[in-house]
Amino acid sequence: MESYVTAKSLAKDTEIWLEKIKPFNHHPMPFNKEQAALLVIDMQKFFLNPASPSFTCGGNAILPGMKKLIAAFRQAGMPVIFTKHVHHPNLLDAGIMGWWWEGMCIENSPESEIHDDLTPLPGEKIILKHRYSAFYNTDLETVLRCLKIEDLVICGIMTNMCCESTARDAYYRDYKVFFLADGTGSINEEMHTASLLNLAFGFANVTTVDKILNELKK
C-alpha cells in the first residue's frame, strides 16, 4: 500500500492539513520551555517495518523532523520521554487488545525497540504501556509532576490512536498540549486529519516541528 505521506511531501501536506483545521485550531498557547517536555510515542520498529501487521506508514515520513526535535530538546536540557507499547510474551496483559489486533508487540523483542534514528540516551525515561494512552496505568504522570512539567509536546504514532489518546488524557490533567501535525503519523490521511481536527477543537494546539524548534531558540 502506498503511503499517504512521505518525508518529501510532508511539508506541503502539512500546509493542507493545517488549512483544513484552521477554523477550529484557535487555541494558541504560550510555550514555556522551562516547564516543557517532549513525549515521543511508540516509534518502535514493530510499527515502522512494512512487513509488520501493525505497519504505520506515516511514521517513516516524520522520522527526520523528530530526529531534529529530539536533538533540540536535548541541547536545551529539556526532558525527552519515550513510550513503548509492549505486551508480555504470554499476553497476560493483552486483554481485549489480544483479539482486536492481528499482531502484538512483545516486550524485550528486537521489534519492540525504538527506531535506531531515535534511540533514547542512557537516563532518558522510557514508559512501558499496554494500552493506547501513555497515562493509563503507567508512571508518566508521576514523572511529569516530579519534573514540574506543564507543557507537553506530543509526537509519534499513531496519530489517531496512542497519540490522540495520550493528548486527551494530558488535557484532562490540565497540561497544555502541543500536538505536531508533521510530527505524528497514521496509516492513512483520513484518520490523521480527523484526529488533528478533533484535537484542535477540544484538546490541543495543533502545531508543527518548526514552530516548536523556533520556540526553543528564544
- Residue written as grid cell 488549512: 19
Quickly count: other Cβ atoms within 10 Å of residue 142's Cβ: 9
The CA distances from residue 156 to 43, 47, 96, in Å, are: 6, 11, 23
**SS3 call for 7:** coil
The CA distances from residue 200 to 21, 29, 61, 69, 96, in Å, are: 7, 12, 22, 21, 29
pLDDT (tens, 9 = 90+) of the chain, 218 residues, equals 689 999 999 999 999 999 999 999 999 899 999 999 999 999 999 999 999 989 999 999 999 999 999 999 999 999 999 999 999 999 999 999 998 988 899 999 999 999 999 999 999 999 999 999 999 999 999 999 999 999 999 999 999 999 999 999 999 999 999 999 999 999 999 999 999 999 999 999 999 999 999 999 98
Residue 206 has phi, psi (to 5 degrees) of -85, 120
Q: What is the pTM of this model?
A: 0.96
**SS3 call for 95:** coil
> Residue 14's pLDDT is what?
98
The CA distances from residue 175 to 34, 35, 90, 109, in Å, are: 14, 11, 35, 33
Quickly count: other Cβ atoms within 10 Å of residue 218's Cβ: 6
> Residue 1's pLDDT is what?
64
> Residue 10's pLDDT is what?
98
Domains of the chain: 10-217 (3.40.50.850)
On the 0-12 / 13-18 / 19+ scale of CB atoms within 10 A, 113 is middle
> Residue 2's pLDDT is what?
83
Residue type present at position 80: V
Question: How far apart are the C-alpha atoms of 79 and 62, rounded to whole Å?
Answer: 20
Rg (CA), the chain: 16
> Residue 28's pLDDT is what?
87
User: b/e for 18-38, b at 16 or more Cβ within 10 A?
Assistant: beebeeebeeeeebebeebbb
Question: How far apart are the C-alpha atoms of 131 and 103, rounded to whole Å?
Answer: 14
Question: How far apart are the C-alpha atoms of 195 and 189, rounded to whole Å?
Answer: 10
